[in-house]
Amino acid sequence: MDVIFLSPGYPPEIPHFVQALAGQGARVWGVGDVPEHQLPDVTRRALAGYLRVPSLQDDMGVVGALGKWMTGRRPERVIALWEPAVVLAARIREAMGIAGQDIEQATRFRDKDVMKQAVRAKGIRCARSARANTVREVWAAVEQTGFPAIVKPLDGAGSMDTFRVNAPRELEAALARLTHVPSVNVEEFIDGEEYHFDTICSNGTIHYENMGFYRPKPLIARSNEWISPQTIGVRDLTQPHLQPGIALGRAVLEALEFQTGFTHMEWFRLPDGEAVFSEIAARPPGANTVDLMNFVGDISVFDGYAEAEIKGTFSQSLERKYNAVNIFKRAQGQGRITRIEGLPGLLQRYGEHVVHIDLLPVGAQRRNWVQTLLSDGYVVIRHPEWDRALEIADAFGTDLQLYAG
């Protein structure tokens, strides 16, 4: 099978998907806007060929160049696991007569206003929202939702450029920081616990489901530098309080007519137990959450996805053995990392439960914590017991410290 893969080297987890597809026997033809020598080694070894284009933002330019490059080949899949390329992938499918998600379907996964309209039409509970293209329209939308409100890009990913505004002055400040964003979605603020629900599907059948929990809520973590945010892969999906979210996720996939690939959905659990839809993307979660899924079950989700995409089956184990936690660390101070404290003692206490450590070394430049959840590194721990997993994660949150200067 010939497969076109858009952006095969980025984000960081993508090369493993490329490798897994090749492992399933696919000939993977990469398309990206970086020189081939800059691709990760994993990607270059797995590709059958690579087409560099000037920009993945120029849809018609990519379609034209790809059509010429694919002359004599008959690709059966176009894959985009990086969110900005999802609609481009659909455009390529339509232009080349390749089966899969079309432009209308892809737009429902990228445009948050279109997405929520489609979900509401099926009677699914989600926050009141409105599209806004001008400052005046933002103010008008907030008049409808009331304060507090959420303002975020229509086609954003994660919680980047997302603001909770509680009063007119805060809305003015948020608008001043969103001048680079052409259109936003203004939403009613939903006060609930925040979860994500992830799936791997083929031909409309869900083969794999994952539930994750954010601690604290992403907007709180994005607003306070001192916090060590946690993303938790939940072991036991049979817990009663999770069932409304699972049912919600399945209903959303049906409403949006999703067929084949990876999905990542955010949802809220209200104090009364009700599940409320937030948003969904036709891609895997970022911030090393796919690795977290692997650690939950001791499996390869990369291989599982590739098998579902190419063969329509999923033979990875569905047993969930652990609660697994990513603890992201942010250094104190600015500049370069000068020292790391607390790690030896933590490893002495909890080493058997630590499965991965990736901290910036001494001398490395700090990352911009606002722009990346990975911040200055992270630690992954896991434990079969929920309370014990949280206890260990919190110890790494408080006792492990990075300093910069």
Judged by DSSP in three states, 192 sits in: coil
Asked if 16 contacts 28 with a C-beta cutoff of 8 angstroms, the reply is no
pLDDT score, position 318: 97
Which domains can be identified in the chain, with CATH numbers? 2-102 (3.40.50.20), 128-188 (3.30.1490.20), 192-321 (3.30.470.20), 323-405 (3.90.1170)
List for the chain the helix, strand, coil content (%; round to 5): 35, 25, 35
Judged by DSSP in three states, 120 sits in: helix
The DSSP call for residue 197 is E
Q: How high does pLDDT run on average in the chain? A: 95
C-alpha dist (Å) from residue 108 to 72, 155, 212, 280: 33, 10, 23, 9
Distance (Å, whole) CA 182 – CA 131: 11
Asked if 82 contacts 10 with a C-beta cutoff of 8 angstroms, the reply is yes
CA-based nearest residue to 72, from 145, 132, 18, 2? 2
CA-based nearest residue to 306, from 81, 18, 13? 18
Written as tens digits, the pLDDT of the chain (405 aa) is 999 999 999 999 999 999 999 999 999 999 999 999 999 999 999 999 999 999 999 999 999 999 999 999 999 999 999 999 999 999 999 999 999 999 999 999 999 889 999 999 999 999 888 888 899 999 998 988 888 999 988 776 656 778 889 999 999 999 998 988 888 889 888 889 999 999 999 999 999 999 999 999 988 998 899 999 999 999 999 999 999 999 999 999 999 999 999 999 999 999 999 999 999 999 999 999 999 999 999 999 999 999 999 999 999 999 999 999 999 999 999 999 999 999 999 999 999 999 999 999 999 999 999 888 889 999 999 999 999 999 999 999 999 999 999
Strand partners, 33: none
